[in-house]
Amino acid sequence: MPDVPGPFIHIMGIGVNTDHVRTVAKDKLFKPIERIYLIHSPDQTEKRIISKGTKNEKTIEPIKFKKLAETLKKDLEKTGIKVSLVLLSKDGAYRNTKETINEITKIIKKEEKKESFYSSKQFAINVTGGTNMTAVASMIVAGSQQTSAYYVIDERFEENKNLESNLAEIAIPNFKEDARIKDYEMQILKEINKKKFDWPYTPRPENKKKGGKGVGYKVDSSINNSEWISPKSIPGAISLKELQEIMKTKHKERPTTISGRINKMAEKALIRIEPLPYVTPPKGNDQYKYKIYTLSQKEKLIRLTDSGFAHVGNYK
């Protein structure tokens, strides 16, 4: 049974099959429902081919997810349930958890301001539908925000038709109690969240003739086959050195103090500490100078994890 009597704000991903939503609407658990938020993918624009070149080859027409969501919304509203739609981008629906985490967190922050709110357990996150990424993101938010969560048991199967409830409540470990975010940790998370780490390089060897002008380039083995083999921009990332300088200037914190706190935050999975990619100063002699694309064994890159982003409550 839910930890609180409600009313409940249901948050759920949907795809082609929306039966799990209709099951929630008529089930007795997590009632009364104050509002349902339906998170859905964008419309597909191209046909897809499955098992191409085989006897099982099949062409699938583009799926209009927006229309499916709008139809479901109208059906639910006819029963008196308030419904809001949340549209994800293609990248957010299929390739990463960040956008879904951001959208669910925004919903929670918005609903917390209402008079009917008194507990995070009023948010009932349904992890049944949508894409794999929305399901994973939903569980991350449920843990970081300490909401309620559940899975819908498919009532189309005979053995599930006479259950007392088709909503299986998911026990959410008290991450906030076990790994409570301290004020200074939130301060650090917010500073990292403001930053973006840019890597504008495409590392490749470039030879320079001896005695010629300019410098050559070498690529260290540490950077080969890594994510830094092409240009990228990473939101919520900063070098440890820059972070230490910010914390010293704005918050009067010593660099050694920040280093210790960063290590503790990594243990809590709020951040990741990685070798910093960089280009070395010129090496060699007057006849032949070169720079090296490499990963530093000394300087570190600090990146927010999905959990860190969820605690800050904002994805850029």
pLDDT tens-digit map of 87-104: 999 888 888 888 999 999
Q: Label the pairing between strands 289-304 and 216-219.
A: parallel
pLDDT at 315: 43
pLDDT at 316: 41
Query: What string of DSSP letters covers 262-275?
Result: HHHHHHTTSEEEEE
> Stretch 150-163: mean pLDDT, rounded?
90
The domains of the chain, with CATH numbers, are 8-178 (3.40.50.10770), 183-312 (1.10.10)
CA distances 208 to 201, 211, 284, 290, Å, are 18, 8, 12, 8
Contact yes or no for 65/43 (Cβ under 8 A): yes
Tens-place pLDDT, residues 39-86: 999 998 888 788 888 888 888 888 899 999 999 999 999 999 999 999
pTM: 0.61
CB-based burial, 158-176: b 16+ in 10 Å, e otherwise: eeeeeeeebbebeebeebe
Higher pLDDT, 208 or 57: 57
286 pLDDT higher than 90: no
Q: Which residue in the block uniquely carries the two structure tokens 């569980």? A: 139
> Stretch 180-197: mean pLDDT, rounded?
92
pLDDT at 84: 97
Strand (E) or helix (H) holding 35: strand 33-40
Amino acid identity, position 233:
S
Nearby residues of 291 by Cβ (< 8 Å), 6 or more positions away: 215, 216, 217, 218, 279, 280, 281, 282, 283
